[in-house]
Chains A and B, each alone.
Chain A
Amino acid sequence: MKKLTSAIAILALLPLASFAQFNISGDLTPAGMLRISDGSLIDLPFRLGNVAVDYAHGDFELKTVTALETRWKDPEINGEMFRLREAYLLWYPTFGEVKLGKMIHAWGAADANNPTDNLSPYDYYYMFLTGTDRKLGSLSLAAKTYISDFQIEVVALPAFEANRFPLNEPDFPINIPIPEGAQYFYPENEFEIGGRIQYAMGIGDISASYFKGNDRSFSPAGLEINLAPLFIGGAPEFTSHLTYRETDVFGMDAVLFPGNWTLRGEFAYFRTHTPDIDFAMSKFTYDAEYLQSVVQVEYAFPNTVQLMAQFISNNTQKMESAMEKDGNFQTIEFMLQDTSNHSLDPLRSLFSQMGIPEFSAGMGTPFALIADQVVILSSMVTLLDNSLELRGMIMVNLEETGYMANIGSTYSLMEGLNLETTLGYFIGGDEAGNRFKQLEDFSNLTLGLSYSF
C-alpha cells in the first residue's frame, strides 16, 4: 500500500517536474580517529557522506538532507545507515519565508557556541563537527518576515526532541551519568515556541529572542524503590527517573564592528523548573535561573591570518531544589529509624547517602556540560595560494585545570577533494570529577578525506 501511495505521489508530481528544478549535491567524508596514547582506533560512528536533494518549483522548494552513518568496527550496531536529517518544504512569499517539516535551526551571532540557540537538539555523537552537522532536525513550522531593517522570526515545534547522547559507548570521552535501568519521562506538553527579532544598524546587528520549551538534556527527577527483593534476602531495587525540565529562555545577541575588530556576543537567561508530575516515591524538583554568555572578538590581518577569542560562561543565578517523599518512602524512612534491626543496615546506609543530585543546565551551549568558565583562542591561516588551510585552537578551563589544544589542516589535493587532518589533545587536573581528565584518553589524530559533488 505504501509503495502504491509513493507511486501515485510521484506520478502526480511528474507534470510539475517539467517546470521545476532538481539539484543534487553532497559530500563524502570518510574519516578515522586514532587514539594518540596507543594508536588504537576510537570506535565511534562517523558520517561517510551526506546527500542534499532540492526540488524547486516557483516560490516553493522541497529540501532533504540524508546522511550515511557508519563505524569502522561492527557497523551493524549503529542501526540504520541512512538517516534523514532534514526534509522540509520552503515557501517564499513576498513577506519573507515559511518552512514546514523536519529541519535544523540556527540562531545566534557567535560561532559554534550559542546560548540562544536552543531550537534544535544536539547530536553528541558528532559534537566535534561544526555547523549543523552536530545538530538534529525536528518537526517545526517557521516563518520569517523582513520589514525595513527588521527581521522577525517565529518557530513552533509541536513534537519534543531531546539531545542524542552516546550511551554504552566506551570510546565516547564524556561520561554521561545515566544510572542503569533509568526510566525517562518525556514532557507532557511537547509544544514549544520561539521568536526572534533582529535589527540591522550601520555599526552591526542586534537581536532579541525568546524560547519556551523543554530542556534538551535530561535531569534527575526522582527515585523509585522496590523493597520486595529485601523480603527474600536480596537488595532493594532503585530505579532513577529522568525528565526534561520546562524552561524559558530570554536571549540577546549582537554583532558590532568597532574599528578593525569584530565583536560578537550572546547572552541567554534561563528560567527552569521540574514539571509537576507525580511519578516517583521520591521526587526531585529544581527551580533555577542561570545565565550563559559568549563574548567573541575577531581580528583579521591583511595577510590571510585570522584570530578569534571567545569567553564562554555559565552561571547559576538562583537554585532551589527539594526532595519530595511520598507515603511509601516515609514509611521506609520510619522503618529505618529502628536501628536495632541490623538486617536493614545496608538499606540504611543507602538512604543516608541519598540526596538531591547536583543541578546542571539542560540547555544552551554544549560547553556548559564540561566547564563553567572557558576561554577559547583560535587562529586560521591560508597558505600555498589557498591550497592549505591551517587552524589552531586552544581552550582553557578557568575554574579547574583543563586544556584542549586542536591543530587542524585542510589540504586541497584536487578540485573538490581535500585531505583533512586534526590533532586534538586534552590535559586535565587531578581533581575528582575533572572533565578534562576524563577526556585525556580521547586525545586523538583524525585523518580523513572530503569530496564534494
Chain B
Amino acid sequence: MKTTYKLFLTVLIYTLPMVLLAGTGYDLAKAMEDKASPSDMKSNMTMTLTNKQGKTRESTIRSITADDNRKQIIWFLAPADDEGVAFLKIEHAQKDDEMRLWLPAFKKVRRISSKKKADSFMGSDLSYEDMTSRELDEYTYEILGEKVVDGIECHILESTPKEGVTRTYKRFVTYVSKTDLIPMLDEAYDTRDSLLKRRVMKYRKEKGYDLPVEIFVENVQKGTNTRLVFSSQEVDTGVEEDLFQEKNLKRMPK
C-alpha cells in the first residue's frame, strides 16, 4: 500500500505541471515565467562563432545578470582586439530600455538604441532582441502539440507578438520540457514566416534551478552558428543594484 502511495506521489509530482498546463498556451507561458529563477547569476562564457566556411572565432565573456535577466552586464575578456569592450543592458517597465557599450579605444560609453533589436551582438548570431526577456503580456500563445526533443517530452508552444508590439520576429515555436518547464529548443521565424534561427539549450540543476550550460544558436538562412558554453556559474550571490552602472563597464571583473 505504501509503495502504491509513493508511486502515486511520484507520478503526481512529475505530472502535476502537465496536468496544470493541459490548459492554454498562456498558462504554459505563465508557468514558465513563474518558475523559480536565480535572483542573480555570474558566469563565464566561451562564445564560439562559426561562419559558413566553418571558420571559427572564440571570445571569452564574463556576464552578470539580475532581476530575471532584465539587468545584464557583459565584459569581453578575449580575444585581444575585443578585450575591455563591455555591454550594459537595463530593461525598464515604464520607459525605453537602456543599452550602453563601453569602447575603450574611444574612452566613451556609447548609448545605443534599444529599438535596434535586430542588430547582431558583437557579430554573433544573437541579436540584442535575443538577449532581452520576452514580456509575457506582449505575446499571444498557442499549444501546437507535443514532441520529444533530445529524449525529453515537450509541449510545442507558439508565441506571436500582439498587434502593436514591434518585434523583429513574426513568431516563435518553443519546445518546452513538460517536467521542468524550460525551453529545450526555440525556433524564431522572420517577418516572412521563414525559419531564421534555431536555438538549442542544455541545462544542469543547481540549488533547485535549471541553469544553462550551453546555448547553440544557428542562423539557418545564413548558415552560421554561435555556441555559448557556460562555466564558473554562481547564483544568488547578492549582486548589488549599483553594479549595473556605467562605471562598472570600465572596470574589468576580477
Contact = CB atoms under 8 A, between A and B. Distances in A.
B231 interface: no
B224 A97 contact: no
Contacts of A315: none
Interface in B199-247: 222, 224, 242, 245-247
Question: Which of B81, B94, B98, B118 gathers most chain A CB within 10 Å?
Answer: B81
Range of interface residues on chain A?
A: 35 or more
A452 B114 contact: no
B147 interface: no
Contacts of B246: 146, 151
A90 to B, nearest CB: 8
B55 interface: yes
Interface string B81-108: 1011000000010111010000101111
Interface in B37-63: 49, 51-53, 55, 57-58
B89 to A, nearest CB: 13
B120 A131 contact: no
Contacts of A56: 252, 254
A131 B113 contact: no
Contacts of B57: 386, 415
Contact of B106 (A61, A106, A202, A255): A106
A386 B247 contact: no
A255 B116 CA distance: 14
A92 interface: yes
Nearest to A105: B107
B167 interface: no
B115 A260 contact: yes
B168 interface: yes
Question: Which of A92, A104, A386 gathers most chain B CB within 10 Å?
Answer: A386
B111 A132 contact: no
B51 A387 contact: yes
A27 B79 CA distance: 12
A159 B119 CA distance: 44
A452 B81 contact: yes
Interface in B109-140: 111-116, 118-120, 123
B123 A382 contact: yes
Contacts of A372: none
Contacts of A416: 79-81
Interface string A377-400: 000001011110000000000000
Contact of B168 (A97, A302, A384): A302
Interface string A387-424: 10000000000000000000000000001101000000
B192 interface: no
Interface string A141-173: 000101000010000000000000000000000
Contact of B247 (A92, A203, A382, A452): A92
B20 to A, nearest CB: 37
A260 to B, nearest CB: 6
B12 to A, nearest CB: 46
A96 B251 CA distance: 11
Contacts of A357: none
Question: Which of B58, B92, B116, B245 gathers most chain A CB within 10 Å?
Answer: B116
A97 to B, nearest CB: 5
Contacts of B111: 200, 204-205, 255
A385 B251 contact: no
A133 interface: yes
Contacts of A384: 51
Interface in A171-215: 200-205
Contacts of A23: 252
Given A151-B246, A255-B111, A25 B96 contact: no
A130 B251 contact: no
A452 B106 contact: no
A204 B120 CA distance: 21
Nearest to A104: B107
A130 B81 CA distance: 15
Interface in A438-453: 450, 452-453
B251 to A, nearest CB: 6
A130 B115 contact: no
B52 A385 contact: yes
B110 to A, nearest CB: 8
Nearest to A304: B120
Interface in A282-329: 300, 302, 304
Interface in A11-70: 21, 23, 25, 27, 54, 56, 61
Nearest to A120: B107
A176 B245 CA distance: 43
Contacts of B49: 386
Contacts of A201: 95
A205 B252 CA distance: 24
19 contacts: A106-B106, A106-B108, A131-B106, A132-B107, A146-B245, A146-B246, A259-B115, A260-B116, A262-B112, A262-B113, A300-B119, A304-B120, A385-B51, A386-B51, A386-B123, A387-B55, A415-B58, A452-B81, A453-B80
Interface of A: 21, 23, 25, 27, 54, 56, 61, 92, 94, 96-97, 104-106, 130-133, 144, 146, 151, 200-205, 255, 257, 259-260, 262, 300, 302, 304, 382, 384-387, 415-416, 418, 450, 452-453
Closest 3 CB pairs of A and B: A202-B95, A385-B51, A452-B80
Interface of B: 49, 51-53, 55, 57-58, 79-81, 83-84, 92, 94-96, 98, 103, 105-108, 111-116, 118-120, 123, 168, 222, 224, 242, 245-247, 250-252, 254
Given A131-B106, A257-B115, 18 more contacts: A21-B254, A56-B252, A96-B247, A131-B103, A131-B105, A146-B245, A146-B246, A201-B95, A202-B96, A203-B95, A203-B96, A382-B123, A384-B51, A385-B52, A385-B53, A386-B57, A418-B81, A452-B79
